[in-house]
Structure 1
Amino acid sequence: MRWLAFGTYDVQRHPRVAVLIDGLRESGDEVVEVNDPLPLDTAGRVQMLRQPWRLPVLAWQLGRCWSRLIAGARRARKNGQVDAVLVGYLGHFDVRLARFLFRKTPIVLDHLVSAAGTATDRGLAGSGGAKQKLLRWIDRKALDSADVVVVDTPEHRDALPADVQPRAVVTPVGATRTWFAAKTSDRPDTDPLRVVFVGLFTPLHGTAYLGDALALLADEPGIAVTMVGKGQDHADCQRRAAANTRVEWVDWVAGPELPAFVASHDVSLGIFGTTAKAQNVVPTKVYQGAAAGCAILTSDTPPQREMVGDAALFVPPGDAAALAEALRGLASDREALKNAKATARKRADEHFYPARVVAALRDRITAPAETVPTRG
């Protein structure tokens, strides 16, 4: 097949689409990218709900990107038939442009989370009101424009409108090949346990509880923790963890260097939040950490249990004491640590490698037309 990966997606901020592209190419398909990243991340887009007067700026930026996307799409069509269009994550608007440009071509929307759900999780819009209605409308129009909707968990599939669910395909987020190549050998048992967290410090990450857990580990010289990232809960996390002077705070690690950086640690931390969104996602960092050969420690939620299985160690969401105790256990039992690392990597090799991630999507696209649910 010949795919067109299309949109304003940014693989550095949201690597999910890069996994899908890797997987399609590994499966023998051709993928042509027509991509012009919008210079605005998720937080910036959602923040405009608080400052609606900035929406014309978004429209102007989107218009500039779209003019280049239209030109790129025309070139791609001249060079050969496009069998399917993949619209990358945060493509709520891009998918409507794709539908206009490719009226008779299957359109696949990578729909990890809804706009309405993201705004609610970040405290920028309640369950009602004009803002939520607008975001639900944006979500609905995006879904109506797609022939296939890709989600990452059964919970996200079940949260889709009933008429959209038959068009949904569940695929794990997975990790790109660079994460699998980054695995390092085990370090001496006498070294401190090296733990890493990478994130944007949003409520679903539960970094308030993580900060409390770090404070409980203040008297544990055998545990070294590195916290990477910035975000809305960063200052609160630092304040809560202040008693632990061995925590290293890093603003960010560039995308190309991140896999090797994470792989140099023993344990990769997932999420620990108690929000509704935190109960329904499997964070990218869990898949990436497993691929890099780290032990995974994350919250015990149904989607993480289902998608990750025995590849992770689980603690109750929002339980700082349990999180601290789990890290103490790994620091004191290096055999358990080695087993946790090996189990995570084995699961990643079997389920999170790009070609395995896209298998269900390719099956749906190549299925006989009469067996595939269509848009209403």
Structure 2
Amino acid sequence: MGILIDGLRANGCEVTEINHPLELSTAQRVDILRKPWKLFGFAWDLLGLWRALRRDARAWMRRHGRPDAVLVGYMGHFDVLLARRLFRGIPIILDHMIFAGDTAKDRGAHGLRVRLLNRLDRMAIGSATLTVLDTQEHQLMCRPGDQTMVIPVGAPAEWYAAGSAEAARVAAGETARTNDIVFYGLYTPLQGAPVIAKAARELARRGLTPHFTLIGKGQDYAKVRTITHGLDNVEFREWVEPEDLPALVSSHAISLGIFSTTSKGLHVVPNKVYQSMAAGCAVITSDTAPQRRVLGDGVVYVKPGDPKALADAIEGLLGDPEALKVAQVKALEASRRFSSDIITKPLYQWILHSMR
């Protein structure tokens, strides 16, 4: 959402934010999608936030008049219903990067829960004038009559800044570029973290022990800890402050994307891939249709769900410093196509067209 706002501003839009956040982390919100009965637990808080949003939106319109468009943020399945009522006759843009039903299914839900969440997705998309999605695969999950637009997730400016700062330190001789490897995420099934753990184990069997930094905690965390038990080269960091993450990632030679074979894993290009490319890391990720289509030769691809293939790719880069450098340069070059001003230009043009 922040990237869309930054990009629209860079393209000349005046964007006013009206925000009363639900104090839940992304992991907690996704857990609610997997366990929809938890909706009742925060329904009262949600209604209170809606009252505040309605009050502020009406006050803004009294001062400024009707907006040209309204952008409803990521995971706005409920907020878009409110926006539809508050801003009648005004184009509503929904940032729909997550399908509730698809995400819940990926986390192990099934049956009635998934059907209810699929209906929630339909209600949200049906309430929007334009639905923004991150891949063509997600676009195909919409209905033919839905007005949609594909916008890559991209990377915020701080990731590019972190990559530039790291490159400057290396060029000045203040630090040396390591051969370290980093992964960060919520350990969800689509990320395939156990594949990374098995690849680390396979590399150790070959006598190769590069340092792995695995950041985060989630569903597959315990399994990964079990697989890597006894590997002294694997470091776990359950939490890193968001403002510190770009610099930490940029200090690594290789960043790892996603490696699962789940349906959702085959539909996405994860934000960590865009961010890691902007940070100047070589990136290894699964060879899926959306990633290959969007990223081109900016990353190194391996077969989804194949620890040996991942181990081979890591060994190939670490065993050939020139290949590693080329992979880092290609990643950074490719990342320039995904800055906020570039990826939001079609959305800016859509807004201009809707004003005519």
How many angstroms apart in 2 are the aligned matches of 1:296 and 1:79? 48
Residue 222 of structure 1, CA deviation: 5.7
**Residue 219 of structure 2: which of 204, 220, 232 is its match?**
232
Aligned to 1:161: 143
Task: Point out where structure 2 has 5 or more consecutive residues left out of the alignment.
Answer: none
Aligned to 2:94: 109
How many angstroms apart in 1 are the aligned matches of 2:257 and 2:314? 13
**Residue 134 of structure 1: which of 116, 141, 148 is its match?**
116
SS at match of 2:22: coil
1:23-38 superposed matches below 5 A:
23-38=7-22
Aligned to 1:44: 28
The answer to whether the 8 A contact 2:20-2:49 is kept is yes
How many angstroms apart in 2 are the aligned matches of 1:38 and 1:335? 47
Q: What do you get for the CA RMSD once the two structures are aligned?
A: 2.0
How many angstroms apart in 2 are the aligned matches of 1:212 and 1:134? 36
Q: Structure 2: which amino acid aligns with 1:142?
A: A
1:259 and 2:241 correspond: no
Residue 179 of structure 1, CA deviation: 0.8
**Residue 41 of structure 2: which of 30, 41, 57 is its match?**
57
SS at match of 2:143: coil
How many angstroms apart in 2 are the aligned matches of 1:317 and 1:50? 24
SS at match of 1:242: coil
**Residue 122 of structure 1: which of 107, 111, 126 is its match?**
107
Which of the pair is proportionally richer in helix?
Answer: 2
SS at match of 2:218: coil
Q: Structure 2: which amino acid aligns with 1:203?
A: P
SS at match of 1:255: coil
Aligned to 1:355: 341
The answer to whether the 8 A contact 1:192-1:222 is kept is no
- The TM-score, its normalising length taken from structure 2, stands at 0.92
**Residue 215 of structure 1: which of 195, 201, 205 is its match?**
201
Deviates more, 1:355-364 or 1:179-188: 179-188
How many angstroms apart in 2 are the aligned matches of 1:191 and 1:176? 23
How many angstroms apart in 1 are the aligned matches of 2:46 and 2:335? 36
1:88 and 2:73 correspond: yes
Deviates more, 1:57-66 or 1:269-278: 57-66
**Residue 85 of structure 2: which of 100, 103, 108 is its match?**
100
1:329 and 2:313 correspond: no
Q: Residues 286-318 of structure 1: CA distance to partner in whole angstroms, max 9, x if unpaired?
A: 000011111111000000001111110000000
Distance change in 2, residues 1:54/1:157 (3 Å) = closer
Aligned to 1:14: none
How many angstroms apart in 1 are the aligned matches of 2:339 and 2:233? 34
1:332-343 superposed matches below 5 A:
332-343=319-330
Distance change in 2, residues 1:138/1:295 (3 Å) = same
1:149-298 superposed matches below 5 A:
149-164=131-146, 167-183=147-163, 184-185=166-167, 186=170, 192-218=178-204, 220=207, 223-298=210-285
SS at match of 2:291: helix
Distance change in 2, residues 1:117/1:52 (3 Å) = closer
1:364 and 2:346 correspond: no
Task: Point out where structure 1 has 5 or more consecutive residues left out of the alignment.
Answer: 1-16, 371-376
Residue 359 of structure 1, CA deviation: 1.2
Residue 58 of structure 1, CA deviation: 1.8
SS at match of 1:71: helix
Count of aligned residue pairs for this structure pair: 348
The answer to whether the 8 A contact 1:170-1:360 is kept is no
How many angstroms apart in 2 are the aligned matches of 1:78 and 1:347? 44
